[in-house]
Structure 1
Amino acid sequence: MYENSVNSKRTGLIYAACFLVLAVVYGIGGSRIDYAFASDPLGPRVVPVMLAVILGLLCFFYLRNPGEAEEFPRGATLLRVLAVPLTLVVAVLMLETAGFLLTVFFIVTVIAALFGAPLKFALAGGAVQALLWWFVFSYLLEVYLPKGIVFG
């Protein structure tokens, strides 16, 4: 019992440290956002920096008293946990070249497959989500989305 409690607290400390690093990186990235001063009195920096500060404070509280946490994942679960952020990094890298539609299709399809969806459902879900979000951002919100070489 005591061994599990120590491992559980260690796992909590690892998670808190990882999220603290994320908060610092996110805060630095948010503080570097350039904007026209006349566009908004606060500018777009406020929300990411504020979220980074809140996350950082919560991480410090959790580092001080980690409490109980789940055991660190192993085996296939660990591979899935690591595959999700890797998929998102690949998606960010391919966004300009592949375009928004293919990137969203890629993200949804891969993550659905990682969590056990049959391939035909993962592909269908990826296609529906890509078209849905393209319609929402392009037509309803009128946001520029990269088309990529395929659709450009």
Structure 2
Amino acid sequence: MALNDRVLGIGALFFAAFLTWFGYDLEAPFTYEPVGPKAFPLMLALIIAICGVRLAYKGGNTVEPNPEGANFRIMTMVAYVAAYAFLFQWVGFILSTALMAIFVGRLFNGAWIKCIIGGVAMGLLFFFLFDKALDVVLPTGILGDLL
């Protein structure tokens, strides 16, 4: 089967259906927001479905193969995201975000020192923005006593 825009559009429709199925029954044990937790996956599913319909209807354009080494970087990114999800609660937001940013930066040939500075800055800035300024509770992990 040749890959083209229609195949991607049909795949997007299946993914949107999965998001709808997953997100439709989301309920918070307590609510302090008028929208609730199901709004984000359902809105995302709607946007993906609209794009999928557009691709499936208009599609037919052939897809060029990935450049050399791109498939390895894609699979490595999937592994990084899985590790990030695993470490998020245990290690905490700051360290897991910093590690994720460092390794993603290195994956795209960033210099070690720039990746470390950027990763640590990203972890700290996003933590203080979300946890302190926006009052979104994030896990502190092993840095809990310091924060």
TM-score under structure 2 length normalisation? 0.81
In structure 1, stretches of 5+ residues that fail to align are 1-5
State the partner residue of 1:102. Answer: 95
State the partner residue of 1:3. Answer: none
State the partner residue of 1:66. Answer: 59
C-alpha separation between the residues in 2 aligned to 1:151 and 1:41? 33
TM-fit CA distance, 1:51: 2.1
Q: How many residues align?
A: 144
In structure 2, stretches of 5+ residues that fail to align are none
Q: Is the contact made by 1:37 and 1:43 (CA closer than 8 Å) also made in structure 2?
A: no
C-alpha distance after superposition, 1:66-90 (max 9, x if no partner): 2436513143112112322331122
Confirm or deny that 1:151 pairs with 2:143: yes
TM-score under structure 1 length normalisation? 0.78
Sequence identity, in percent?
Answer: 22
- The 3 A distance-change label for structure 1 pair 21 and 105 is farther
C-alpha separation between the residues in 2 aligned to 1:20 and 1:145? 32
Q: Is the contact made by 1:80 and 1:114 (CA closer than 8 Å) also made in structure 2?
A: yes
- The residue type equivalent to 2:46 in the other structure is V
Confirm or deny that 1:80 pairs with 2:65: no
- The 3 A distance-change label for structure 1 pair 54 and 99 is same
Q: Which segment drifts farther, 63-72 or 106-115? A: 63-72
